[in-house]
Structure 1
Amino acid sequence: DSFALVDALLQQLPGIVKAGSPRVVLEVGCGSGYVICSAAIALRQAAAAADRTPGSSFLAVDISAPALAATARTLAAHEVSGVDLVRSDLLGPLSTRLQGCIDLLLFNPPYVPTPDEEVERDGIARAWAGGYRGRRVIDRVLPLLPDLLAPGGHFFMVTVLENEPEGAVVLQRGADEECLKILHLRKDAGAG
């Protein structure tokens, strides 16, 4: 699913950077670090190809200390620096400070429909257990989007059919017994 998310981002990236590189890039639930690392590399390559100085700030958030450690290892292995890692349940206290600032928000939530009690478990289950319809965590993030996204900001999220996603599907791919969908939403550039 992380690969599908990155593929969708790369597919849409030319249109996103056409107006200039995103200033603030945020990944919620960074897990292994593959998504934020790929985004940082792609955006820096796009800036270099356009003879621009890379101007994006990168932030990755996860509730899991082992996930943040994995993200740090992934970034180091690919020689990507300048990504701030924050341990937090979703955005926690950062949400007020980030209001209206996020140009690109990436989210691979725990989307698998499970009994609600699995969502609260510690360990690896947190990475996939999504509760009823797989939406327990999704439904905590979606209401934050209007306030978090900058005008013209982009949001990419992994979903499956059981999540009952609404939005523009930019990539659909079969994976094992799931059909992954990557949603791409964009805040109106005139919205404040």
Structure 2
Amino acid sequence: MLLRLPGVYPPQEDTWLLADALAAERLGRDSRVLDLCTGTGALSLRAAAIGARYVTAVDISRRAVVTTQLNAILHRHSIRVIQGDLTTPVQDQRFDVVISNPPYVPAHDDVLPTRGVERAWDAGVDGRVLLDRICTHAPRVLAESGVLLIAQSVLSGIEKTQSMLEEQGLSVEVVARAEIPFGRVLSARAALFEARGLIAPGQRTEEIVVLRAAKPSLDKEVM
């Protein structure tokens, strides 16, 4: 069971797809995990349940921070929860795994909401306002041989995410895919997506993927 304050993104198919990818990683007690855009803290809880002792959850939303703190207490896991903007609060630290299920839904304009439930999914015209920043900044907090796991929709450009991460020196692959029906938000924007050529006429499903980006070890970099 997960508690959720109003306005906090509820775990959905993308959350559980990413959680399964996280479970496939070899996390030990000394693993350091960073959960960006934590929401309810579902992914942080999964990391702790798998066995990671050092889990940090970050979200810019005060309600998400409180929600994650409450869920950590409810499930009896020790999770450090920080209110902040992506990696800014932890830029001097290094993590073995960084996970993120950020807002990635294409919106009418590039003005990001600062309050309300739309904050949990609106991500600019191309859906990449948060994705681009994560691709740039997350690799900087990865430890040697660290892994970034990120979920997104094909509507927000998988190829660009892969290209940006590769430019940061990471090895990138898609490790999970799922075709899911449009929910309320995407259904309301179907005409907008059709006009932009993001979906075919009448299409009412989207593909969600999880990308795994691995940082090479120093030995491989030397070679």
Q: TM-score w.r.t. structure 1 length?
A: 0.82
Contact kept, 8 Å, 2:87 with 2:137, in 1: the verdict is no
Q: Please tell me whether the aligned partners of residues 158 and 183 of structure 1 are also in contact (alpha carbons under 8 angstroms).
A: yes
- Aligned 1:79-118 pairs, distance under 5 A: 79-81=76-78, 83-95=79-91, 97-98=92-93, 101-118=94-111
Residue 213 of structure 2 corresponds to 185
Counterparts of 1:116 and 1:92, CA distance in 2: 25
SS at match of 2:122: coil
CA distance in 2, matches of 1:63, 1:6: 21
Alignment of structure 1 residues 132-143 onto 2, 5 Å: 132-143=125-136
Report if the CA contact (8 A) 2:106-2:122 is conserved: yes
Q: CA contact under 8 A between 2:155 and 2:206: conserved in structure 1? A: no
- Correspondences of 1:14-163 after superposition (within 5 Å): 16-17=26-27, 23-44=31-52, 56-81=53-78, 83-95=79-91, 97-98=92-93, 101-163=94-156
Of 174, 182, 199, which aligns to 1:169? 174
Unmatched runs of 5 consecutive residues or more in structure 1 = 45-55
8 Å CA contact 1:27–1:61 kept in 2: the answer is yes
* 1:33-52 Cα distance to aligned partner (Å, 9 max, x none): 111001110125xxxxxxxx
Please say which structure displays the higher CA radius of gyration: 2
SS in 2 for 1:61: strand
Per-residue deviation at 1:93?
A: 4.1
Question: Match of 2:104, as an amino acid?
Answer: Y
Instruction: Say which SS state the counterpart of residue 134 (structure 1) adopts.
Output: coil
Of residues 24-33 and 174-183 in structure 1, the stretch that sits farther from structure 2 once superposed is 174-183
After the TM superposition, which parts of structure 1 deviate over 6 Å for at least 4 consecutive aligned residues? none
For residue 139 of structure 1, report the CA deviation from its aligned partner. 0.7
Matches of 1:90 and 1:71 in 2, distance apart?
16
TM-score (norm 2): 0.71
Alpha carbons of 1:85 and 1:73: their partners in 2 closer, same or farther (altered >3 Å)?
Answer: same
Quick one: distance in 2 between partners of 1:90 and 1:136?
Answer: 12
Structure 2 gaps of 5+ residues are 1-13, 163-171, 182-204
Q: 2: distance between equivalents of 1:132 and 1:39?
A: 32
Percent of counterpart pairs with the same letter? Answer: 29
Q: Secondary structure at the match of 1:106?
A: strand
Amino acid at match of 1:113: P
* Contact 1:22 1:103 survives alignment (8 Å): no
Q: Quick one: distance in 2 between partners of 1:93 and 1:154?
A: 19
